[in-house]
Structure formats: C-alpha cells, structure tokens
Amino acid sequence: MNASLKNKGLGKGLSAIFSSTSRVTAPLQRSVAEIEESVAREEVRHVPVGKIKPNRYQPRREFRSAELEELADSIKKYGILQPLLLTQESADTYELIAGERRWRAAQLAGLTEVPAIIKTAGDLEKLELALIENIQRQDLNPIEKAMSYKQLIDSFALTQEEASKRLGLSRSALANTLRLLNLPDVMQKAISDGELNEGQARALLALESLPEQRQALFDQLIQYKLPVRQAEEAVKKIKAGKPLKMLPDFNVQARVDELQQLLQTKVDIQWNGKKGKITIDIFELDEVDGLIKKLR
C-alpha cells in the first residue's frame, strides 16, 4: 500500500463514532482516548489480514455485498483511513474488537495488511466497543441491536438497568428494543430485512396476547406497507373488540417490482385500502424527462 495512504487520517473517525458521549460510559471514553493517543504516538501497526480473525462478540450478523464492494473501491483509492482495533491472541493471531467491515473490504480490495492498533481488552470491553461502534454508525438493524443487547446481558449477567447504563441508553429504550425478540421469527426477519420499521413492530408487540389478529395485521403491514399511525389505529380497534378490517387483495410488492423494472429506479407504494401514493426516486433532474417518456 502507498505509504501516504497508510497513515492518512488514521484515527480521525474515532471521536465521531464514540464521543457523543452521553451514549458512552466513562470506561469506554478512556479506552477511546487511549486509542487516539496511540494514533498520535504513531503506534499504528500493519498486520497481515490473514492473521486476523473476527470478533466472536460482533453484533452485526449481515454484511451486505454491495456495501462491502463500495468500501473496497474506496480503500483501493484512498487506503484505510481509520485503523482496526485488535487484541493479540497469540504470537501471530489477532482478534478484531472493531472494524470487521473494513477488514472484509480490505480483503476484497486485495490488501495483504491493514493498519491496526493493538489493545488489551477483556471480553466485556470487546463486546461493548463492538456494540458502540456499530450503534454510533447506525449499522445495526433493530433485531441485531436487540440480539446484541441480549448478548451483553446474558454473557455478563447484567440487569437491564446495568446494561442500559453501560450503553448510555434509557432503560425503557433498551427494554423496548429487547421486546422485538418476542415476535415470531418471520416477523423478526421482516424487521431485519427492512420490510417493517420499529414503529410498526411495536404495534405488533401490542397484540402479543392475540396472535391470530397480530398475524393478520402483520400480513397487511407487509402487503400494503401501512404507515405506523394506521397500524396503531388498527391495534386500538382490535383491542376494543373490533375485528381487523379485511383490505382488498392487492399485492403491493408485485406492483413495486414491476414499476421498478419499467422505470429502472427505486419505487415505493403506500396503500391503505382506500387511497395511497407512489414515490419514484430520482437522482438527477434530467431523469425526469426519461421517466415522462417511459410513462407516456
């Protein structure tokens, strides 16, 4: 790797990731300060990618290929601008604490070594640092966050109160996220895949004692992409003893797919059974003329 790229900007992202520090506890703030001091003292080492293994506490479960390839292209041009954080497991083996996405992308980019800071850290700190990095970057989907919080609590026998303090979250925010794991697997997958947002998921959680009605509402949320407010209104009616109104059979996703193929851009349809809207994404004004021609 070009020497000018090796050290360019190393460590500059750490404060942005970890430091809005109402979210980060004092021990982690000290850890971040140590890392930044290491960068300032030029204690960044270059470690062969083949000697690094993933963090067994990594909260992320999915690394999207397109995003990794985009990062790999950036690394080819500019190098790795922020060092990985590792612990040394043996004479020639290292474990990631933070930076697995950069490590994977570096391999795609054909790098044989990566810049890294070697730190001594216990299991709890490894998990916390990996969690905070991902949470601050908003890389985790809601289910990954919930599973990470549960892992932190279960692995280290923490109460929800203790875990929320370590993560800089309110106890209610932590508890609400953990509750997502009470949903059936198919609903959790829909959340992970971005088909449901957290507001819609909370509406489903309110029907935990009414599984049939919850399933019916879930089907409508997926099929019609109902907004959160309408989902909450449906929950109120169900709890008041009114059955969920059956909407006409209309496969929204099939129409989305067909329009996207026709227009060659991202399309979204929202439909509540009576009215709806279609959103078409454009990235340049010139695209509008092309869309008009296709719609004629």
Q: How far apart are CA 220 and CA 89, in angstroms?
A: 50
Catalytic residue positions, numbered: 100
Residue 233 is assigned to a structural domain of this protein: yes
Range(s) of the domain holding residue 213: 183-239
Residue 247 is assigned to a structural domain of this protein: no
Q: What percent of the chain has pLDDT over 90?
A: 22
Higher per-residue confidence, 252 vs 145? 145
Q: How far apart are CA 145 and CA 107, in angstroms?
A: 26
Residue 246 is assigned to a structural domain of this protein: no
Residues 201, 231: one domain? yes
Helix (H, G, I), strand (E, B) or coil at 202: helix
- For 161-193, the three-class secondary structure string (H helix, E strand, C coil) is HHHHHHHCCCHHHHHHHHHHHHCCHHHHHHHHC
Residues 45, 131: one domain? yes
Residues 47, 74: one domain? yes
- Using alpha carbons, select from 202, 236, 222, 233 the residue that is nearest to residue 270: 222
Cβ-based neighbour number of residue 232 at 10 Å: 15
Residues 39, 108: one domain? yes
Residue 245 is assigned to a structural domain of this protein: no
Residues 45, 157: one domain? no
State the Rg of the chain over Cα.
Answer: 23
Residues 150, 211: one domain? no
Residue 107 is assigned to a structural domain of this protein: yes
DSSP 215-271: HHHHHHHHHH---HHHHHHHHHHHHTTPPPPPPP---HHHHHHHHHHHHTS-EEEEE
CATH number of the domain encompassing residue 49 = 3.90.1530.30
Residue 123 is assigned to a structural domain of this protein: yes
Residues 153, 193: one domain? no
Residues 126, 213: one domain? no
Domain boundary among 106, 124, 139: 139
> Tokens 């008009």 — which residue?
292
Q: What is the pLDDT of residues 108-130, one digit of tens each?
A: 999 999 998 887 767 767 666 66
Residue 244 is assigned to a structural domain of this protein: no
pLDDT score of 232: 92
Q: How far apart are CA 162 and CA 168, in angstroms?
A: 10
Q: What is the pLDDT of residues 257-267, one digit of tens each?
A: 778 888 888 87
Count of structural domains within the chain: 4
Q: What percent of the chain has pLDDT over 70?
A: 73
Domain boundary among 109, 139, 169: 139
Residues 127, 211: one domain? no
Q: What is the pLDDT of residues 73-84, one digit of tens each?
A: 888 888 887 888
Tokens of 144: 């990954």
Residues in the chain: 296
Residues 122, 13: one domain? yes
Residue 30 is assigned to a structural domain of this protein: yes
Helix-helix angle 171-178:160-167, to 10 degrees? 110
Helix (H, G, I), strand (E, B) or coil at 96: strand
Residues 169, 209: one domain? no
Domain boundary among 239, 260, 278: 239
Residues 212, 163: one domain? no
